[in-house]
Amino acid sequence: MSEPFLLGVLGGMGPLATLDFQRRLFDATPAQRDQQQLPSVVWNVPQIADRQQALAGTGPSPLPQLIQGITRLNQAGASHIAIPCNTAHHWYDALSEASEAPILHIVDATLAVLNQEAVKPQRVGIIATHGTLAAGWYQQKLAAQDIEIIEPTAQELAEWFVPGCYAVKRGALEEGGALLVRQAQALFARGAQKLILACTEVPIALQAANAPFLPLTFDPAQALAQRCSQLWQGH
């Protein structure tokens, strides 16, 4: 008999992104009744120290709180763990060491979706925090496939991305969406054919803004939800 399946979700980064991810899990799972839906336990504790500030050297490390969440999910019996926050993957190795359950990687899930494209884009823009961009996870995997990467400029991050992201965190979705639409348009204007929305607040804001270019984007949160659902269906 196979081991029980229980997805652990390390959330709270931010809380709305975690709620959005839970809805994505539901939508990604073909089910005719309650009992066929993916079982999960969620650690949605938003008091985790700010990841962007930590990586900028202006705030404390969130690692102790992240490990606490991972520990609680393991104690709850999680068989797999997903983290619907790109920047938190900066601490992926340390969290994996602290976890008995394997932690799925959001970048791997995203690239798996990109690789299913009938025609791969030649130029991909990335909307992400400075920490995610500096880590280079997406850039390295895209470059390995000879895909050109287009990143936000420092000015764009300061004027559009960061305030847009924090607007979502305080619930001002339309305000955040307007700023993040400008960030996306700037990447398209510099030649991006598709965008990776590598911050889980970004798709929420762009949907609130009714951005017309959403079909030209890859959503890591959606890719991660699909991967979780595939594991559940396989189970």
Integer Cα distance of 164 and 173 in angstroms: 8
Question: Alpha-carbon distance 11 to 43, whole Å?
Answer: 5
pLDDT tens digits, the chain, 235 residues: what are they?
367 999 999 999 999 999 999 999 999 999 999 999 999 999 999 999 999 999 999 999 999 999 999 999 999 999 999 999 999 999 999 999 999 999 999 999 999 999 999 999 999 999 999 999 999 999 999 999 999 999 999 999 999 999 999 999 999 999 999 999 999 999 999 999 999 999 999 999 999 999 999 999 999 999 999 999 999 999 9
**Which residue in 42, 55, 82, 85 is the catalytic one?**
85
pLDDT at 2: 60
Full-model pTM: 0.96
* Class of CATH domain 107-220: alpha beta
Assigned token pair, 185: 């348009």
Chain CA centroid to CA 117, Å = 20
Rg over CA atoms, the chain: 17
Q: Which residues contact 136 (CB under 8 A, 6 or more apart)?
A: none
Q: What is the dihedral of CA 225, 95, 44, 2, to 10 degrees?
A: 50
Q: What pLDDT score was predicted for residue 233?
A: 96
User: Which of 3.90.550.10, 3.40.50.1860, 3.30.390.10, 3.40.190.10 is the CATH number of 7-105+222-234?
Assistant: 3.40.50.1860
Q: Residue 169 belongs to what H/E stretch?
A: helix 162-169
**Beta bridge mates, 149:** 124
**Which pLDDT belongs to residue 177?**
98
Q: Is 165 a catalytic residue?
A: no
Rounded CA separation 24/205 (Å): 15
Q: Evaluate whether 7-105+222-234 and 107-220 have a shared fold.
A: yes
Q: Which of 189, 202, 218 is nearest to 161 (CA)?
A: 202
CA distance 123 to 118: 15
Looking up tokens 């340390």 gives 94
Task: Read off the DSSP letter of residue 103.
Answer: B
CB 98 within 8 A of CB 71: yes
SS3 176: helix
Question: Quick one: pLDDT at residue 124?
Answer: 98
- Angstrom distance (rounded) from CA 235 to CA 227: 12
Domain extents for the chain?
A: 7-105+222-234, 107-220
Given the residues 66, 199, 206, 228, select the one marked as catalytic: 199
Tokens 């008091």 map to which residue?
Answer: 47
What local confidence, expressed as pLDDT, does residue 3 receive? 78
